[in-house]
Structure 1
Amino acid sequence: MMPRTTVNIDQPILDELKRLQKTTGKPLGQLMSQLLAQALAQQEQPESPAFEWQAQAMGQPHVPLEDKERLYRVLDS
């Protein structure tokens, strides 16, 4: 048996929940439990660190980039 509780929610949220209830056919309590579980699971996941691009000088190219044929030969080998 699931515990019962009273929750105060804003009318637009309730309207959206009822719309979802009609499309999914799930009871309102079950739908709310699933959505809250998803929201709580997202909060528990640590944020991934921001990607930092590390650029560095690589020197001069070994193949002149203006020479397309030579460049293609190197890439194809």
Structure 2
Amino acid sequence: MARTTIDLDPAILRELRRRGQREGKSMGQVASEVLAKALAEPRTRAAPTFEWLSRNLGLPLVDLDDKAAVRVILDDRT
């Protein structure tokens, strides 16, 4: 097994030591198991559900095929 050095939050270090003592394993073994489990989980989260809302807005107020009329309407809004 490879050796490395990592900086851990003191609370994480305490928990790793506590679990190691409880399970009769070294802190390194516990850390490896926890990391392996975390890295095996899917990386993507389920996207929140999204529902399109649709309403009838009636006829357009301008002929959308008439580019000049559309420009006039858009210019009046700015």
Q: Post-superposition shift, 1:27?
A: 1.1
Q: How does 1:1-77 map to 2 (within 5 A)?
A: 2-42=1-41, 44=42, 46-48=44-46
Structural RMSD (CA): 2.3
Q: Post-superposition shift, 1:13?
A: 0.5
TM-score by length of 1: 0.54
Amino acid at match of 1:22: Q
Moved over 2 A (4+): 44-52
Percent of residue pairs bearing the same amino acid type: 40
- In 2, the alpha carbon distance for the partners of 1:39 and 1:30 equals 14
